[in-house]
Amino acid sequence: MSYQTVSFLLFSLAVLVVYYICPKRLQKYVLLIGSIIFYCLAGTQYLPYLLTTLVVSFLSGLWMGKIYQEADGRLAAAKDMPEKKAIRERAKKHAKIVLNLSMLVPIALLVVCKYSSFLIKNANAVSRLVGLDKQFEIVKFALPVGISFYTFMALSYMLDIYWKRYHYEKDIINYATYLTFFPHVVQGPIDRFNKFNDQIKDGVRFDPYYIQSGVMLIIWGFFKKLVIADRLGFFVDTIYGNFKDYHGVILILATVAYSIQIYCDFSGCIDIVSGVAELFGIKLAENFNHPYFSRTMLEFWRRWHISLQEWFKDYVYFPVSMSGFVKGVKKSAKKKGHKKAGELFASCFPIFVVWVVTGLWHGSSWKYVAWGMFHAFLLISSKIFEDTNAKLTKWFKINTESWSFALFQMARTFMLCCVGRVFFRANRLADSVGIFRNIFNAGFGLRYLGSAQLVSYGLNLENIFVVVMAIFVLLIGDILQEKYEVRRKLITENSFILRWILILLGVFIVLVFGIYGPGYDAGSFIYQEF
């Protein structure tokens, strides 16, 4: 049951009605049952993976919590500081053993299901390279729906309990509701347990504000997905599917179109699921904050897929930064008189690790590794040349607060994103190399922009006009939301009648201009594949 279907909306409505009819103490049970049903509709064969991750991570948190609880009791009876230190160290050691053993289970499930084929293929390639005859049989596993997302949520819970960021959960219903909640289980956002649980543990009171806000967000998400993303998808698929036949500007145009498509597709999905969650009075983690208004790549990644970037920051970047290896290199460099180089390594190496892992998280392909390393290169370069850039800006007396400079920075950031999108969208790494080559080979290909040629790329002139106007509406809407938070003001500062007129107008626009209907199969969300 895909998020952009009528059946999903009807399912959500049915769960919503039961949810608000029931007493508040029973609401979490309604959410849990509804979420399990939703997941089973995606495929009952995937349920054991989800339940295994759920049970292991819950019991792990329970076990570590008990270890710390018992240690607190002994600390109260301890007589001196050495004894207290020994108690804390023993508890930490035992909790770490539990954590490591527990994390192995969901990580192993993720690796086997998502990366086994990739690992075996590369092992066979290395075997051939060194002249060995041994070849391993490639085994393909079906990728369980949402495994990349719920695995990260489970890992974050276990690590947070280990680091004592909040108290362990004793009620498995609360934890199971968090991990299986149907709006975020398939493609995020990657919520944190404590923030989610605070909203559902005591039940939710019906609030018209959340209903109207949720409906507006759902409509805006459908507008992005059905009016823009799926329409651009025809054009992008045509060009990238036959990239060898195209050169120059048409490949650039397809890459720009894909950058807009993936934003509208992914953020559209997040708007839909966040809107559905708001109907239940639940705020999911923010995942997008108008990323194409970013002035630097660092800012872009603070605005794009926010929940994933924060996950990597908390659970990969900081641990690597504080690791013995990084501290050792930094200390060694300082002793040899290379203090600045050591500090630079300590800040850049974790970035490199994060982005290699980020690339692999998106898929088991070298193209994703290349995409991750490209962004690592950009972020590390900006770190290395940060002082030089500041000096040059001052030397040329550039007004960094002017609108023209801000516009230049946004355009530059968008262009760099587009370069990375070539790796991301190409079917394989070799194809991305071919696309870059064709962009600069055989002239710039302006002949491909004639009206007769454009209509052969998957869109007729009417659809081109609609998508251009829709992108303009999206741009204006994002600007207004960025500056004035118009969605909140539309609800709080306008009459009930006007609010629902705007909602019905949005529904009308999606129904009239959306890509769907007889014979059309709405494209699945891009991030659903991850």
Q: What is the pLDDT of residues 79-125, one digit of tens each?
A: 788 888 999 999 999 999 999 999 999 999 999 999 998 988 888 88
Is pLDDT at 422 greater than 90 in this prediction? yes
- The whole-number pLDDT of residue 452 equals 52
Q: What is the pLDDT of residues 237-257, one digit of tens each?
A: 999 999 998 888 889 999 999
Question: How would residue 444 be classed by pLDDT, with cut points 50, 70 and 90?
Answer: low
Tell me, yes or no, whether 370 lies in a domain: no
Q: Which amino acid is at 105?
A: V
Domain count for the chain: 2
- The whole-number pLDDT of residue 523 equals 52
Same domain, 167 and 218: no
- The whole-number pLDDT of residue 527 equals 54
One-character DSSP codes across 180-195 = H-TTTTTT-----HHH
Same domain, 176 and 221: no
3-class state of residue 159 by DSSP: helix
Same domain, 44 and 110: yes
Tell me, yes or no, whether 335 lies in a domain: no
Q: What is the pLDDT of residues 183-216, one digit of tens each?
A: 999 998 999 999 999 999 989 999 988 999 999 9
Same domain, 196 and 244: no
Q: What's the predicted TM-score (pTM) here?
A: 0.92
Is pLDDT at 453 greater than 80 in this prediction? no
Same domain, 76 and 201: yes
Pick the more confident residue, 386 or 371: 371
Is pLDDT at 269 greater than 90 in this prediction? yes
- The whole-number pLDDT of residue 378 equals 96
Helices 429-440/403-425 angle, 10° precision: 130
Same domain, 246 and 141: no
Tell me, yes or no, whether 102 lies in a domain: yes
Same domain, 26 and 61: yes
Q: Which tokens sit at 247?
A: 């050169």
Count other Cβ atoms within 10 Å, centred on residue 447.
12
- The whole-number pLDDT of residue 313 equals 96
Tell me, yes or no, whether 290 lies in a domain: no
Domain closes at, from 177, 206, 235: 206
The mean per-residue pLDDT over the stretch 215-233 comes to 94
Question: How would residue 140 be classed by pLDDT, with cut points 50, 70 and 90?
Answer: confident
Tell me, yes or no, whether 420 lies in a domain: no
The mean per-residue pLDDT over the stretch 27-42 comes to 96
The mean per-residue pLDDT over the stretch 285-312 comes to 96
Please give the DSSP secondary-structure letter assigned to residue 29: H
Tell me, yes or no, whether 382 lies in a domain: no
CA 393 to chain centre: 34
Provide the domain limits for residue 18: 6-206
The mean per-residue pLDDT over the stretch 320-347 comes to 91
Residue closest to 150 by CA, chosen among 66, 55, 60, 61: 55
Same domain, 197 and 222: no
Domain closes at, from 156, 189, 206: 206
Write the CA distances from 121 to 58, 127, 147, 431, integer angstroms.
35, 10, 22, 18
- The whole-number pLDDT of residue 479 equals 92
Same domain, 521 and 442: yes
Question: How would residue 518 be classed by pLDDT, with cut points 50, 70 and 90?
Answer: very low
3-class state of residue 282 by DSSP: coil
Same domain, 46 and 78: yes
Pick the more confident residue, 315 or 449: 315
Same domain, 176 and 219: no
Peptide bond into 144 cis (omega under 30): no
Q: Which tokens sit at 133?
A: 């005859």
Q: Which amino acid is at 114?
A: K
Give the integer Cα–Cα distance in Å for 465 and 502.
23
Give the integer Cα–Cα distance in Å for 320 and 125.
30
The mean per-residue pLDDT over the stretch 457-462 comes to 77
Domain closes at, from 206, 233, 253: 206
Tell me, yes or no, whether 257 lies in a domain: yes
Tell me, yes or no, whether 489 lies in a domain: yes
The mean per-residue pLDDT over the stretch 488-495 comes to 75
Which sign does the torsion angle of CA 299, 301, 306, 310 carry?
A: negative
Residue closest to 148 by CA, chosen among 187, 191, 195: 187
Same domain, 201 and 121: yes
